[in-house]
Amino acid sequence: MTITIKNSDEQQAMRTAGRLTADVLDMIGEYVVAGTTTDELDQICHDYIVDVQAATPAPLNYRGFPKSICTSVNHVVCHGIPSDKRLRNGDMINIDITVIKDGFHGDSSRIFHVGKANPRAARVAEVAREAMWLGIEQVKPGARLGDIGHVIQQHVERHSFSVVREYCGHGIGRVFHEDPQVLHYGTPGTGTEIVEGMAFTIEPMVNAGRRHVRLLKDGWTVVTRDHSLSAQWEHTLLVTPDGFEVLTLGAEERQ
Ligand code: MF3
Ligand code: CO
Ligand code: CO
């Protein structure tokens, strides 16, 4: 297990990649409307990343993934593959963007509601977002990864939702998925100690029903076994001397 510690030049490159990632999510929001296909969202993001940002969409051809973004609709937990299926009023969609710029990765995802939000979807999305932020707020040198997982799990389960166990946050830098694994459940005071200069994601997947998931035959799409709704948010962060810096804040979050 090797956790890379980013020096100040590398931290600056991570800031750039993180900002570009957030910019893609800020850009795509207005296109998330009923009648649009997830393929169209993929194409728009691809062209923006390549032509406007002069960057690279990391998912494309990553371990054989066929598209530039992940689009996970309703009961899809993560790694949904863009397709010709059209979004409908009340759908909930997670768009997950990973951009490579000057060799460094930024990784972030958000939930969007199509048209008028489904109230149940809005609730699970809200709890997932709160859980991510509670996890982020644990981050500082000397804390442990189990502290992050614990607060996320507590918050989710207090609302009678469940945390997916099979997928986790991850170290990130020159490599898309590097050590450490950042679990979204756990015990305080356990796990790897957090150190200044680490960069990793926090990206809890929260199911409205039971936590169990199933992988579809396409080898990528992860769905809830019970077909309940699932919501996810993701930020990339850097560990600073006294806490954290979120590298993928959107324009609204930077206010
Ligand atoms: N962006 C996802 C994550 O948060 C990983 C997607 S892998 C892909 O880690 F191949 F599906 F793109
Ligand atoms: Co990630
Ligand atoms: Co991601």
Output the CA 200–ligand 3 centroid distance in Å. 11
Q: Is 203 in the pocket of ligand 1 (CB under 6 A)?
A: yes
| Mean pLDDT score, 175-187 | 98
Which atom of ligand 1 approaches the CA of 65 most closely?
10
Q: Please list, in sequence order, all residues whose beta carbon lies within 8 angstroms of the beta carbon of residue 4, skipping any fewer than 6 positions away.
A: 171, 173, 174, 175, 178, 198, 199
Q: Is 25 in the pocket of ligand 1 (CB under 6 A)?
A: no
- Model pLDDT, residue 124: 98
Are 192 and 144 within 8 A, CB to CB?
yes
Of 70, 83, 96, whose CA–CA distance to 38 is shortest?
A: 83
d(CA 147, CA 191): 8
Output the CA 177–ligand 1 centroid distance in Å. 9
Q: Is 67 in the pocket of ligand 1 (CB under 6 A)?
A: no
Output the CA 17–ligand 3 centroid distance in Å. 13
| 3-state DSSP percent of the chain in helix, strand and coil, to 5 | 30, 30, 45
Which atom of ligand 1 approaches the CA of 203 most closely?
4
Q: pTM to 2 decimals?
A: 0.99
Query: How far is C-alpha 152 from the chain's CA centre?
Result: 14
Q: What is the CATH number of domain 8-243?
A: 3.90.230.10
pLDDT at residue 1 tops 80 = no
| Mean pLDDT score, 33-60 | 99
Q: pLDDT tens across 135-153, in order?
A: 999 999 999 999 999 999 9
d(CA 45, CA 28): 7
* In the chain, domain spans: 8-243
Q: Which percentage of the chain shows pLDDT scores above 90? A: 100
| Mean pLDDT score, 217-245 | 99
